[in-house]
Amino acid sequence: MKRPILLTMAVLGLAIFFVVGCSDDDDENPTSPGDESIFTDYRDWNQVEHTNTPNDILGPAHQGNNPEFTRSIYTSAGSMIDTGEYPEGTKFVKETHTYDGDANHEFADPMGLLGMVKREAGFDEAGNDWEYFNIDPEDLSTIASGADLGACKGCHTLATEAVGTDFIFSHPYEFEADGSDFDDYAAWSLIGTETGPDALIGDAHAGNDANAVRKIYKKQLAANPDGLGDGYPTGTMILKTVEDEGGTLIGRTGMAKRGNGFDPDNDDWEYFMWNPDNGDVVAQGAVAMCIGCHSQANTATNGRDFVFKHDGDPFNN
């Protein structure tokens, strides 16, 4: 759903201010840095977002324009709400992270770990009584907190009606790709070049043609089906081409992590197939033949989260 232009411009302006610098000089009722962490167990909370794709709310805030970063959001609330207000004591935490060479979380610097807590009535009436936290990823202690941290409150005031409620944006985000979103695949990371038969794919992708060349591209090289059990982030995109021995394109297929319960039995992947002669999309959705094959990519040997292992993928090879 498209947002009004003025709303988008306002959000981008706030987001740019957030990225350039968030000062806590004007914080009201701040919690002192170094206080005992109230976020120690946040990864045991309800995860309501795990995405690496930008949307029309973020702009550049929270690395929203950098596809190599993933944003994961956790809440102590049992579920998200569509209307009304969250009860006092509700907590949210947002991770903005990529991965180091050993697949460990590497948080954005600065403000790669942020929190929100719904305080008692009257704490900050203009901000619906939310307190914002900048959290140290090392020990989860509070670096700074208050009724606002730079542009935090200003941005979250936009979380109303169709995009959220009570200063909290709607989650999870659903990535609805179309065929044109894959058009620049040649600029993505080439994570595999394969020839010859492959027992896992059988006749698919010219797997029975000893001379065919299969090339696999990944848009977000740092997208990782990490050890926390999150799977690939929503927005992850992978494309495979098949060329004959003369280099002519004879096949093109893709997959995008759509998320938001699109196909929960099959990890919410959406599949795409193109006519290699004219570039038209000939199949899109929860394509049964694709699922049947990719369901094999869920073992230590074959791959993870419906994606097969490829030598050039740093986190699934």
Domain CATH for 110: 3.50.70
Same domain, residue pair 66 and 214: no
Would you state the structure tokens that stand for residue 307, as one six-digit string?
A: 């994606």
The pLDDT of residue 139 is above 90: yes
Q: pLDDT digits over 242-298, tens only?
A: 999 999 999 999 999 999 999 999 999 999 999 999 999 999 999 999 999 999 999
Which domain covers residue 274, as residue numbers? 179-308
pLDDT at 1: 35
Q: What is the CATH number of the domain that holds 272?
A: 3.50.70.20
Same domain, residue pair 269 and 303: yes
Q: pLDDT digits over 6-17, tens only?
A: 333 333 344 433
Look at residues 144, 169, 194 and tell me which one is the last residue of a structural domain. Answer: 169
Same domain, residue pair 78 and 128: yes
Q: Which residue matches tokens 């609805």?
A: 176
Position 316 in a domain: no
Look at residues 129, 151, 169 and tell me which one is the last residue of a structural domain. Answer: 169
Same domain, residue pair 121 and 253: no
The pLDDT of residue 33 is above 70: no
Q: Which residues of 182-195 are buried (b: 16+ CB within 10 A; e: fewer)?
A: beebeebeebbebe
Position 313 in a domain: no
Q: Which amino acid is at 201?
A: I
Q: Is the pLDDT higher at 205 or at 39? A: 39
Look at residues 119, 134, 169 and tell me which one is the last residue of a structural domain. Answer: 169
Question: Which residue, among 136, 117, 35, 122, has the nearest Cα to 77 in the 3D structure?
Answer: 117
Position 101 in a domain: yes
pLDDT at 35: 54
- Rounded distance between C-alpha atoms, residue 193 and residue 297, angstroms: 18
The pLDDT confidence band at residue 57, using thresholds 50, 70 and 90, is: confident
> What's the number of domains the chain is made of?
2
The stretch 76-81 carries a mean pLDDT of 95
pLDDT at 201: 86
The pLDDT confidence band at residue 190, using thresholds 50, 70 and 90, is: very high
Same domain, residue pair 156 and 13: yes
Would you state the structure tokens that stand for residue 14, as one six-digit string?
A: 């706030």
pLDDT at 36: 60
Same domain, residue pair 150 and 293: no
Same domain, residue pair 214 and 285: yes
Position 208 in a domain: yes
The pLDDT of residue 162 is above 90: no
